[in-house]
Amino acid sequence: MKKYCHKIRYIFIVLIVFVSCNSSKEKSLILSDKMLKKNPVQALAILDSLENESKLDEEEQLHLIWNKALAHQALGMSLAEDGQLPEAIAYYKEEADKQADRYLLEASYLCWTGKEKDAIKAINKGFNIIADSTKQIQLLGVKARIFGHQREYKKAIEVLKKALKYDLPKREQAILNYKLGENLSLMGDRLSEHFYSKSIQLATENGDTAIACEFLRNYADYLANNGQYHRSNDIFYQIGRTMPQVAELSSIQMAMAGNYINLHKLDSARICNEKAIKSEAKLEAKGFADIARRVVIEQERCLLDYANGKTISYVDFARYCDSITADMQAKENTLTRRQETKNRLQLANHELKLDQQRMGWMLSVAVLLLIGGVIVGYLYYRNRVQRLAEAEDRIDTLTRMLTEAQSATAETAGDKQPKTDDDTFFKKILLQQLGIIRMVANTPTHQNQALLKRISGISDGKIPTDSLLVWSDLYPVIDRLYDNFHARLTEQYGNALTEKEVQISCLLCANFSTKEIGVITQQSDATIYVRKTSIRKKIGATEGQDIVACVNSIKG
């Protein structure tokens, strides 16, 4: 008993673990869905930590793809690698609570995959359907980015101005004002300074120091491009005071060195250039190398060396470029191999699913065949048993008739007064024609195998009784014993009744039971009942009326 209790306890623990694993899987999907807006970085980390994605069902996989795409969108990451996103978009097409995100993801995906015209169409369609103002602003932001990428700055400006008409938080207002100023500056419009300044002001009032410094840096670049080098450097110094941790970054020192070169302050420019070189080296060591920054820094160094009468050498920079090229090629090869591996895994996963489906179908077919075989076997067995029971019943019927005939024969052989009635006498004659009584007379042993074989052959229909019985001899006997029954039957209904029906009527007259008639005529009980019904209709008898009595009622 303890042994079984231990096994039951083990099974129960396994079931609890399985359910908890499934629950945690669902919880991870739901949790990440709620965190997408507040903390997309953490949400994406949770989604990426899910293992055995291939074991998820179709709905769970599409849910996972959808949430990952939302996280990538929120983080400004490319959606080009979300290859299954169109399937998820199509799956959630009819769900009202996902309509807003659907058009946003669709437009972003099309944009990232280079189908910018289709992305604009999706944005316009979604903008007219979606009622959520936040999602409408996001769609306008994607649309402005597309126009900016296409260098259609005027259209981008119109879209951004449309977005600014909404009642927005200061953070979103700051971002839109900055993008508006950026597009205006690309058109050479001096009005861009107003929007740059306003974006910096809004970000500062909202306490977004990092965003404010980013806007300041881009505004300083704008001023430098327009020849306002002093104002540009003043802003860079302002950034350093606001966020001292970024003051020594190569991008800022590089830009300040360029301003000083244009102001012909070469000593200050060299100090900034050296700081930029040191900062860039640290960034490269951490894996944040940038070829564009390095080019500008080397260009500035060469200009300063030339101004100071030093020899200009591009060897170090050329070697650096070669190393960058080699690294890029290595990364490209690595990415290619990763993509190939990913494709192989996806193909293998697809083939595994197909194999599972095929296995499921094969198992289903095997189960159906097994069930069909069991049913057929059962029906065959039941039919066989039924046939054997019927055969035994018919043998018993013949044996009983034989016993009655033997009894009558024995009494006659002993010179005793015959006690058999007409029915028994007729049965004896009929059995004599079948050859059974003759066989009993020749070999009266009760265990005679030949006799049993013959009786079985007759009962099974292997020996046709039509070839043994001579009805032309039996009909006169019927007439003598039963008051011309056969003659009256054939005279009145001979044209209506078939030979088989006449035979059955005569056997009924001799008080043969339905079972005995079936054995003699080698027909089933059901067939005998049908023929009896047919006889009643032909002779005008009612349902259930005795056929013999109806015929006997005919006056001779």
Q: Name the nearest CA neighbour of 509 among 380, 407, 423.
A: 423
pTM reported for the whole predicted model: 0.51
3-class SS of residue 300: helix
CA 288 to chain centre: 44
Q: Which residues of 272-299 are buried (b: 16+ CB within 10 A; e: fewer)?
A: bbebbbebbeebbeeeebeeebbebbbe
Tokens of 150: 């296409």
Residues 103 and 129 sit within 8 Å (Cβ to Cβ): yes
Give 10-residue mean pLDDT values along the chain (556 residues).
48 44 48 65 76 72 82 81 82 76 83 85 84 82 86 89 87 89 87 88 88 88 90 90 89 92 92 92 85 87 87 74 76 82 82 86 92 91 78 72 63 45 73 63 55 60 70 85 86 87 88 84 86 89 86 74
Degrees, nearest 5: CA angle 276-279-281: 110
How is residue 244 annotated by DSSP? G
Query: CA 258, CA 253: separation in Å to the nearest integer?
Result: 9
Q: Residue 3's pLDDT is what?
A: 47
Angle between helices 250-262 and 229-242 (to 10 degrees): 150
Distances in whole angstroms, Cα of residue 44 to Cα of each of 57, 134, 306: 20, 22, 50
Distances in whole angstroms, Cα of residue 85 to Cα of each of 41, 108, 342: 19, 11, 16
Q: Residue 371's pLDDT is what?
A: 93
Radius of gyration for the chain, computed over Cα atoms and rounded to the nearest angstrom:
53
Tell me how long the chain is.
556
Q: Residue 19's pLDDT is what?
A: 43
Query: CA 23, CA 12: separation in Å to the nearest integer?
Result: 16
- Other CB atoms within a 10 A radius of the CB of residue 551 amount to 21
Q: Burial of 508 by CB count in 10 Å (0-12 exposed, 13-18 middle, 19+ buried)?
A: buried
Q: Name the nearest CA neighbour of 159 among 178, 142, 174, 134.
A: 142
Tokens of 527: 């067939």
**Residue ranges per structural domain of the chain:** 248-313, 398-552
Long-range contacts made by residues 396-399, C-beta under 8 angstroms, separation at least 24? 397/459, 397/513, 397/515, 397/516, 397/519, 398/436, 398/455, 398/458, 398/459, 398/519, 399/455
Q: Residue 262's pLDDT is what?
A: 93
Long-range contacts made by residues 56-61, C-beta under 8 angstroms, separation at least 24? 56/25, 59/91, 60/25, 60/26, 60/29
Distances in whole angstroms, Cα of residue 23 to Cα of each of 56, 65, 209, 340, 473: 13, 19, 41, 33, 90
Query: CA 287, CA 293: separation in Å to the nearest integer?
Result: 14
Q: Which residues of 409-434 are buried (b: 16+ CB within 10 A; e: fewer)?
A: beeeeeeeeeebeeebbbbbbbbebb
